[in-house]
Amino acid sequence: MHDKSGKGAADGSSAGGGTAAAAQNSSHLNGHSVSPNGFNPAITPAPPQQSDTRVPSPVPDPAAIIPRDQWGGKYEFLLSCIGYCVGLGNVWRFPYLCYRNGGGVFLIPYFIMLFVTGVPLFLMELSLGQYGSAGPIMVWKCCPLLKGIGIGMLCVSTLVCLYYNVIIAWTFYYLGSSFQSPLPWSCDAIANVAICANRTVGNSSSERPRTPTEIFWNEKVLGVVNSEGLHDPGPVRWPLALCLLAAWIIIFLCMLKGIRSSGKVVYVTATFPYFVLVVLIIRGATLEGSLQGVAFYLTPDWSRLANAQVWNDAASQIFYSLGIGVGGLLSMASYNKFDNNVIRDTIVITIGNCGTSFFAGFAIFSILGHMAWRKGVPVGEVADRGPGLAFVAYPEALALLPGSVFWSIMFFLMLFMLGVDTLFGNMEGITTAVLDEFPNLRRNTFHKSLFLGGLCFTFYLMGLLLVTDGGIYWFTLIDSFSTSFGLIIITLFMCIGISFFYGINQFCQDIIDMICHCPPWCSKVLIYFKACWVFCTPFLLLFILIYIFLEMYNTPLHYGSYVYPRWGKGLGVCMGATCCLQILIWAVVAISKETGSLQERFKKAIRPLNSWRVNNLNSAARSQEHVEPELVEAPYTVTLTDQDFTAMTWEMGSSA
């Protein structure tokens, strides 16, 4: 929707100056040639038209521009993204979904959804962050109408951070409890001897007898037996509260120096889980009954392909595991060098993430198969979903292994590192957005540390609700709605906004500009991505969104035997609606700041801001040794002002 001709060439070129048309039109301006990236630092744009009464912003002093950090190397960025994407969902969610939805057949809809929605949206988010060199809010200078997408991402990321660190706190609790022999949830523990004896002899009750791991999880850790539901949270469980405090302190220390510190931490946190998974697969392969578990995991049920639930689960797992639409990917990519190959990174990270999910299933179900063999029951009776798989079924299986203490320590240490890496990405999305809005925080280390400490402490105080006796009910509510329909709507508008407002051709040209020596395969792959962004991805996102609304209306929310009241479900819907309504609110704000008819206001609101071009010139200059950023002479601003909301025009006629 950009005007690419005449004086309106700025609408396309100001989005990055990368289109061939913009470069050709401006190549003779003032007698200067234009660089391959579509700009020449020596070119000074003409002053605004006389009809514009607003005074141009002063030329920014280059010394006053606060530089952004950059990754120490491409491997730090790759490991950070892999650590962010490979999280707890790969271990406890994917294996469960795979066996519940037809075993090996589930891989068919999973990979279709991956290549039609997951990979294109992943590339879009990485490219947008890297090209704009800005966080999830400031990056929408490319289309001010959609600034609410960045605000919505921030809301989703806040909800995710709020409950995700509670999982790390649970992991801490189990990790500390694992340094006991025998394990406190095993039948060898003195407190559990009578329970295990009753289960072995037989129970006259018609209800299924509880296991020591279930008792430990529900009574010792959660205390959920002391709560009646959402309305009865009960007191804070202080052992869990201390674990939650320790988790936030670790996150604070790892992020204290930004990507310079977190980029080094990922060398351990992103690689150690793979070592543990390999060891667990090798150990599981030697156990009796392991093949039974793997067969249960992969046995195909072709009839499941006709079920819409399978396709929805495949799509939801893609979003859950890749972290799309939360802002973490966009923020981490904003610290890349301008000429980083985002297409290569996208392929490596997405394929690596999904491969990890698939192979994690072998580690999980080989040991669950051994537990089913030991107990003489089908594998389906020992498998569980979500936290139940990680904190009930698997600990029980580990307790049956020789050297159970060692394996338990390894497993929960792996979960801890998986959780920390994912939380890094979510927190990076929040901190980057704030630091972009208040750039002076980057310069003042003390104020930045104070802000980060205050943010972590605020999240800790809010998270105390989730470590009460009834905290699991609130945890499930936030988990169910924070990344539900609100996240899908945000990604749908991101896809539509970039494709039709910013311009799909312009966006593809921006990617080519970043990959300075774009190999032929990159250009051909972009044709596929262009088709996905314009047609396939929005269509599938709409399908997922409709299915979510139908399921949400027809299916009651429950945790165990507890069914959530209507007001509780309504509260969850409000959480999701708050996130996606930011798009509408900030679109109205953007349009109200323009002048003219409604149609004219809309056209102005979808044009890139003046400062969007300056950001990109500076980003490209930092990546080219022969171009000095000080040479950029333009009356633009880096911060949002009234001048920003009038798109820059180039005097191409007599003034040229």
90 is in an annotated binding site: yes
- The 3-class SS string of 250-277 reads HHHHHCCCCHHHHHHHHHHHCCHHHHHH
Question: What span, in angstroms and rounded, lies between the C-alpha atoms of 223 and 471?
Answer: 9
Which DSSP string corresponds to 535-600? IIHHHHHHHHHHHHHHHHHHS--EETTEEPPHHHHHHHHHHHHHHHHHHHHHHHHHHHTS-SSHHH
86 is in an annotated binding site: yes
83 is in an annotated binding site: yes
Q: How many residues does the chain have?
A: 656
Long-range contacts of residues 355-360, Cβ cutoff 8 Å, at least 24 apart: 356/86, 356/90, 356/274, 356/277, 357/89, 357/90, 357/94, 357/95, 357/317, 357/321, 358/94, 358/98, 358/107, 359/277, 359/281, 360/90, 360/91, 360/94, 360/95, 360/277
Question: What span, in angstroms and rounded, lies between the C-alpha atoms of 139 and 433?
Answer: 9
Question: What span, in angstroms and rounded, lies between the C-alpha atoms of 449 and 456?
Answer: 11
Residue 500 main-chain phi, psi, to 5 deg: -115, -25
- Token pair, residue 142, equals 């490319």
165 is in an annotated binding site: no
Can you state the angle between helices 537-554 and 308-322, rounded to 10 degrees?
A: 110
61 is in an annotated binding site: no
Question: What span, in angstroms and rounded, lies between the C-alpha atoms of 94 and 313?
Answer: 9
Question: What span, in angstroms and rounded, lies between the C-alpha atoms of 107 and 85?
Answer: 18
Cis amide bond preceding 182, omega within 30: yes
Can you state the angle between helices 272-285 and 290-298, rounded to 10 degrees?
A: 110
Name residues whose C-beta falls within 8 Å of residue 209's C-beta, 6 or more positions apart in sequence.
195, 198, 199, 203
Q: By C-alpha distance, which of 252, 166, 264, 245 is closest to 427?
A: 252
Question: What span, in angstroms and rounded, lies between the C-alpha atoms of 17 and 398?
Answer: 58
Which DSSP string corresponds to 131-199? HHTS-TTGGGGG-GGGHHHHHHHHHHHHHHHHHHHHHHHHHHHHHHHTTSSS-TTSTTSGGGHHHHHHH
Report helix, strand or coil for 232: strand
Question: What span, in angstroms and rounded, lies between the C-alpha atoms of 439 and 138?
Answer: 11
321 is in an annotated binding site: yes
Question: What span, in angstroms and rounded, lies between the C-alpha atoms of 218 and 211?
Answer: 11
- Going by the annotation, the residues of the binding site for Na(+) are 83, 86, 90, 321, 353, 418, 421
- Going by the annotation, the residues of the binding site are 83, 86, 90, 321, 353, 418, 421
